Amino acid sequence: MNRIIECVPNFSEGRDLQKIDEIVAPFRARQGVKLLDYSNDEDHNRLVVTVVGEPEPLREAVLEAIGVAVRLIDLNVHKGQHPRMGAVDVVPFIPIKNVTMEEAIALSKEVAGEVAKRYNLPVFLYEKSASASYRENLAAIRKGEFEGMGEKIKQPEWHPDFGPAEKHPTAGTVAIGARMPLVAYNVNLSTPNLEIAHDIAKKIRFIGGGLRYCKAMGVELKDRGITQVSINMTDFTHTALYRAFELVRIEARRNGVSIVGSEIIGLVPMEALIDTASYYLGLENFSMQQVLEARIME
């Protein structure tokens, strides 16, 4: 591939393996497209797919997968820990190689228009593609979720950028846009008390006075009897993963609990992990140029 764009669509299905397989199928064995990873979480009831490709074949694969999700997922019966407003909740495009952000934005708008046309689905543009500053933040668009979107979408300030001003009866709405690479990073706590996880999330996220480029929420992991601070790092080059981890540790200690582990969801840029490893190892004057794999891939 000469020109590479990454796409990380999030689908509101994390439990039915047959449906998950059908949604992922359009990304398999397709010329000009490579499926890198997909992970489903039963507590979140959510599927995250990571795929890269040349703009045109990637466009068609994403549109096909969206169609499958709209057909299979009914949000009227969907329950999960993660906020959602659509069967296909969010579709971000990320420029990777020989593609500008402007080109990623153009592709996102092209896909958004086609989604509305093919599936009669209301589409909000977000992040770099947003039509207004108050629409950049996905959390602001998603507020009210599927259940509240019927009334919200009728308000003039929340008229969709594409499609009808009425939520799809089973598939809701979708946010599509272009953005920087995002790291989905979760920190697990040694407590079943969801209020503690919520409280820590409020303190570390930017909107609550915490870290810039950090979004967070508390999640209950019932099967494990613990809770989780679920984090999205929207720009790891300015706010490192280790800062989020250490701030969670500080706030957890205040609540008398400890961290029992953390996890990365989907794929993560090598630089984000090298930066964190460098911090914990106390490396001096270390750079990506000293990473063997990075030099080989140049």
Residue closest to 83 by CA, chosen among 207, 200, 176, 219: 219
126, β-bridge pairs: 177
Cβ atoms 226, 178 nearer than 8 A: no
DSSP 110-179: HHHHHHHHHH---EEEEETT-SSGGGS-HHHHHTTHHHHHHHHTTSGGG--SBS-SS-BTTTB-EEEEE-
Phi-psi region of 37 (alpha: psi -120 to 50; beta: other; left: phi over 0): beta
Cβ atoms 126, 161 nearer than 8 A: no
Catalytic residue among 82, 159, 198, 238: 82
Cβ atoms 174, 115 nearer than 8 A: yes
CB atoms within 10 A of CB 181: 20
For the chain, first and last CA: distance in Å?
15
| Residue 238 annotated as catalytic | no
Backbone φ, ψ for residue 49 (5° rounding): -110, 140
Backbone φ, ψ for residue 77 (5° rounding): -120, 10
Residue that is written with structure tokens 């929340």 in the block = 158
The residues annotated as belonging to the active site are 82
